[in-house]
Each structure stands twice: as C-alpha cells, then as structure tokens.
Chains A and B, each alone.
Chain A
Amino acid sequence: MRAGPTLQALEQYLYREARYIDEKRWDEWAALFADEAEYWVPASRGQPDPKNHVSLIYERSLLRDIRLQRYRHPNAMSLQPQPYSVHLISNVMLDSFDGDSGVCVVNSRFIMLEYRRDEQRTFGGAVTHTLEISDKDWRIRVKKVELVNCDSTLGNIQIYF
C-alpha cells in the first residue's frame, strides 16, 4: 500500500501535461503516456465506448506517433500557419486511488484558447486522467476529454486538448 498523491502534485502534473501541448514539446508530452495509452475525445455525450461509436479522436500510441510526426512534416498544408493553444486547468479532484496498483483517476475542467490565422476559438470540457503512479514516475494510461460541445458541428481541430 502506498499513500495517495497530494492534490497539489496532481495539479502540477496536469499543468505540466497541458504546458507541453501549449509549448509544442511533443516528445516530452508523448513520454507522459504509458505504452498503448488511450487518448479519447468522444463525439457524443455519455458515449459508452470508442469502438461502436464515432469519436472526434480515439488514439493509442500508433496513431499518436503518426499525428505527432505529421506535425513536423514540411508539407502539412493545414498546419501552415500552425495553430497555437493556451490551456487553463481547474476544478481538479481525485476521484479514486488504488494503493496497491498505484492507479488513480483524476477529474478536472479545462478551457483552451486556440488561435490560428486570425481566428481564435474557445474549447472547454471535463477531462478524466487515469494515471499509473509509482515512485519512479507517473504515466497516463487514459486521457478522456469530454468537450461541452462534443456533438456540435465543428471545424478543423488540429491540436490536442
């Protein structure tokens, strides 16, 4: 049995993860994820699973690798110019912690400003992180982003939430 993480440590971890996205530090960001970790943005409210229903994004390492490599591709037309983001994270709550496995589930809320080519957009929603915590490091097993407007008509989204 190990002690649960402090709320401050959790907050700092979530801030760091978001900061990597905002600063486009993709290698560091990808390294936060455990092998085969899921990144999931459902396309409908309360969507039960990512296999039988479409999602805005459902990725594990393979697709994450492809997306991140694409970010660096010289001929990615829609990334010229690049989009930029700023995340604000709040309402961080520890939903559960298993002292034996080190698995903890953290819920938070976010607002993200996204800017590209003279247009600024606002996204927001609830995020559930399932983390694996050990003495050595913390890894994300699942990051699920439930956008408040997940079922809306949306234009291009080319940045991680």
Chain B
Amino acid sequence: MAYNKQDLTEMVSESAVDRRVYIDPDIFELEMKRIWGRAWIYVAHESQIPRPGDFFTTVLARQPVLLVRQDEEHVNLFFNRCAHKGAKVVELESGRASLIRCGYHGWTYRTDGSCHSITGGEQAYASQGLTKSSPCMSLGRVPRVDSYRGFIFASLASDAPQLRAWLGPTATSIDNMVDRSPEGKLEVTGGVLRYHHDSNWKFFIENLNDMMHAMIAHQSSAQTARVIGKRLFPEGTTAPPEIQILAPFAEDKDFFEKMGVHAFDNGHSYSGGKTSIHASYSGIAEYDAAMEKVYGKKRTNEILSLNRHNTIVYPSFTCKGAIQTIRVVKPVAVNETVIESWTLKLVGAPDEMLHRSILYCNLINSSANIVGPDDYEAYHRIQHGLRTEGRRWIANSRYVGAETPNDEGGYSATGSSDMVFRNQYRTWLNYMTGEQAARGERAS
C-alpha cells in the first residue's frame, strides 16, 4: 500500500513500533528513498584507495557506485553506470586504472568522471548539439561525498548536513579507533567477510546495542567457552585470546546493565564506555610501549581505557574501536541484508594486535562463526514471527523515561533500557515523514 504521512506517524509510538516496519516491502522501498537516500552512508576507508587511479566499487542504498582516487586531494564517487547504455562500467571490486573503460562499446572516462573518448567519435552526436564534454556524457556523481578521519561517507541528498556535525558524538568512537594507532593511522587489511542475512536490516542495527540478548542467545558458544576455558586455564593462568573474546558474551545481566547505552541525534548510539565485553583482554606489552612512546602514559591510558562496545552511526555504519573492526549494513530487500565486516590495522602497532582483530572477526563475524548464527536465527524468527496479524506492536518500552542527559549532548541509560531503539525509531519517523533531523532521546 501507499503510506501517507499519517499512516507512517501511526506506526511509531513513544514506546513501540508497528510490525510492518520490518515486513512490508513498500515500507522498505520508502526507507531506501527517505532514509538511505538522505542519510550519510558509509562507503569505504581511504586506505583502500591510497594512490591516484585506485578504485573501489560498492553499493549505496542498493545502487552500484564507483569510488576513485583522482589525486592526493580528490576522491570521487560516481554511479557505476556507463553514460552511454547504462552498463556497469567497472565490475571488479577494486584495482587501479588511469582510464575507466566500458566493456560494452568502449567509451572511456577519466578518473574525474569526464568522458575521454566515444568509440566512433563524438560527431555522431553533433546533430543533438552534444560533444563528449557535455555533462550527460560523463559519469554521474553521487551528490555528497565527505570523509571523517579516513572513513568515507556519501549522501544521495544534495542538502545533507555537514558530515562531522551529523556524526555528533559518535565521531569520538572513530577518533578513539584512530587514536589507538601509535601513528594515528588506520589501514583496512585482511579481506572482508560478507554475511548474508534472511531478515530486515533494522534487526541487526538494533541488536548491536541490545544488551539483554547476549547472555541468552549466545549461551551455547560463550558459556561453553567459559566452561572449557576454566577447565584448561585455571585461575592464575592467562586464557588465550579465543577464550578472552568468547567468554564475556556470557557475562551476567549486571555486567551489561553497567555497560550502559548512550543515544544521540540522528539515530546514533553506542553502548559501553567505562567497560565492555572487550575490557578484559590481556595487554600486549610491545603495543603499550609503542603507544606510551608517542602519547605518554596518561594519554595512552585514556585512549585504551575507553571501552565502547558497539557504536552505531545510523543506519549504515557500526564500529568497535576496542578491537578495530567495522560492520557495514547493506540492505537488499525487506527480508534480506548483507553485513560486511572489515578489519582495521593499527599502523605502527605490533602484528599481534592485527592478529587479535582478525581472530575476533573470524569468531564473531564470519558466516561460519559460532556466535553470529544465533543472532541470525533470532532475526529470522522475528521476521517470521511478525507475520502474526493478531499483534500489531513490538514494544520498546523497557525503562521509558529513566534516561538522563549525558555530557555529550545525548541521553544515557542502564544497559537493558530500550532507549536506543526508541531513539532509532524517532529518527526513522523523522526521515520517513520528512521532518528535520531527529532530536536525541528526551527524558520523558
């Protein structure tokens, strides 16, 4: 059905959402236009295209796009579509080229997107008053591209707000990840894991800051890791990273309450801070020394003691600074989503740090891992459970009104509060009904 503003408004209450936001294909199409077509969407990291001519292809709200480094200063993002017949111009995921050539009729483009040659000559278009310099002969540009500390975002809306302002306090999660490199530099490395989910994109984006599920849904992996870990590595010995990574998922409710959740304008949020499931990893002496040499003891301690769990830059980008991974959301259909996991190397840090991040991704983010499948299964069951017509609402009502303003301009709450979801749906509604960017959680 076609939804008008009032229909949409009635789908989100202060403490619940209508089941159709997850299962109706028409809602999904509207989301692609109004949320994914307006917000800043993560594209890639600058280290993936370090030299002029380097390119990377991806999708932006399902549309194929081509990221190209023109020179030191300029990174261009084009729709990956030949100006001639519309074929995808670049099929490879990444590479390097001085000219971009369409394989169909051989039109070529420069790295600034301008048309370099038209096979058979441009005179064929002279009667239309066109030359190869005519704007319609070049690659189409995505309206807005900007980057924050190496992370490139784009918006399909030409009137998008400034990226830095839009990120709000979640920018500090990116800062912390960058600061963890002794050289202040990150590098995408070690490949990508692409995890197909048969469920709506919002389940993933909600689940990352859902502090109530881990101790239940991940019992079979995390509790098992705990038991085996305790048997093999009794007190007084150091458990290996595998156990240190898996076991905290089975922490009790108090632990997750204490981690806390924090919500901000534009649907953004993070969980953890003073502590998180990453807080008890063993220190790596060589790394600590490299950090202290650059930052000094006090600042190093500040950087490394910031233990955020998941940061969500709504709707597409999530990061874990403490373990240097990002997960990128790519909606495909109302019940189909791809989650990409990328690993970031801390430049100047010992290899052991990268090895731990890689291990983390294998254990948590690979399609064949032992933690994610239970999240996957939960999303699958909600996707199917919501076919129930007799119940319209999904409650987001835990601790309504119990949030308090934080010193970053947002609101904080105990870990098991649904505040983050309420904040996401306030933003959802604002995007969907065309209101101004969402306000942060209000204590009401």
- Residues of chain A touching chain B, judged by Cβ–Cβ distance below 8 Å, are 41, 43-44, 47, 51-58, 62-63, 65-67, 69-70, 73, 75-79, 151-158
For residue B376, which residues in chain A have a CB less than 8 angstroms away from its CB? 78, 155-156
- Determine whether the beta carbon of B219 is less than 8 Å from that of A52: no
- Determine whether the beta carbon of A76 is less than 8 Å from that of B198: no
For residue A44, which residues in chain B have a CB less than 8 angstroms away from its CB? 191
For residue B338, which residues in chain A have a CB less than 8 angstroms away from its CB? 153
CB distance from B198 to the nearest CB of A (A): 7
Q: Which B residue sits closest to A159, measured CB to CB?
A: B368
CB contact between B373 and one of A51, A63, A152, A158 (< 8 Å): that residue: A158
B305 within 8 A of A: no
CB contact between B246 and one of A66, A151, A157 (< 8 Å): that residue: A66
- Determine whether the beta carbon of A56 is less than 8 Å from that of B194: no
- Determine whether the beta carbon of B195 is less than 8 Å from that of A53: no
CB distance from B205 to the nearest CB of A (A): 18
Report how far A69 CA is from B190 CA in the complex, Å.
29
From B190, B217, B223, B242, residue with most partner A Cβ within 10 Å: B190
A to B CB contacts below 8 Å, 6 in the list: A43-B192, A56-B368, A57-B368, A66-B370, A69-B227, A77-B378
For residue A153, which residues in chain B have a CB less than 8 angstroms away from its CB? 194-196, 338
For residue A79, which residues in chain B have a CB less than 8 angstroms away from its CB? 220
- Determine whether the beta carbon of A73 is less than 8 Å from that of B220: yes
Chain B interface residue count: which class?
Answer: 35 or more
B30 within 8 A of A: no
B197 within 8 A of A: yes
For residue A158, which residues in chain B have a CB less than 8 angstroms away from its CB? 368, 373
A51-B355 contact, Cβ under 8 Å, with A62-B242, A153-B338, A154-B194: yes
Report how far A73 CA is from B338 CA in the complex, Å.
28
For the complex of A and B, the 5 pairs showing the least CB-CB separation, nearest first, are: A76-B220, A73-B220, A78-B377, A154-B367, A78-B373
Tell me the interface secondary structure of chain B in the complex: helix
CB contact between B242 and one of A41, A52, A63 (< 8 Å): that residue: A63
CB contact between A73 and one of B197, B219, B232, B372 (< 8 Å): that residue: B219
For residue A151, which residues in chain B have a CB less than 8 angstroms away from its CB? 191, 194
For residue A65, which residues in chain B have a CB less than 8 angstroms away from its CB? 228
B251 within 8 A of A: no
A75-B219 contact, Cβ under 8 Å, with A55-B362, A63-B242, A154-B195: yes
B82 within 8 A of A: no
CB distance from A29 to the nearest CB of B (A): 16
- Determine whether the beta carbon of B196 is less than 8 Å from that of A155: yes
B18 within 8 A of A: no
A70-B341 contact, Cβ under 8 Å, with A54-B361, A54-B366: no
Q: Which A residue sits closest to B93, measured CB to CB?
A: A151
Report how far A131 CA is from B82 CA in the complex, Å.
52
For residue B374, which residues in chain A have a CB less than 8 angstroms away from its CB? 76-78
Report how far A158 CA is from B361 CA in the complex, Å.
16
- Determine whether the beta carbon of B354 is less than 8 Å from that of A52: yes
Report how far A146 CA is from B368 CA in the complex, Å.
14
B189 within 8 A of A: yes
B343 within 8 A of A: yes
B41 within 8 A of A: no
Report how far A65 CA is from B230 CA in the complex, Å.
13
Report how far A55 CA is from B240 CA in the complex, Å.
19
Q: Which B residue sits closest to A68, measured CB to CB?
A: B224
CB distance from A91 to the nearest CB of B (A): 23
Within 8 A of A (CB), among B367-403: 367-370, 372-374, 376-378, 381
Within 8 A of A (CB), among B344-364: 351, 354-355, 358, 361-363
For residue A54, which residues in chain B have a CB less than 8 angstroms away from its CB? 190-193, 341, 343, 358, 361-362, 365-366
Q: Which A residue sits closest to B343, measured CB to CB?
A: A54
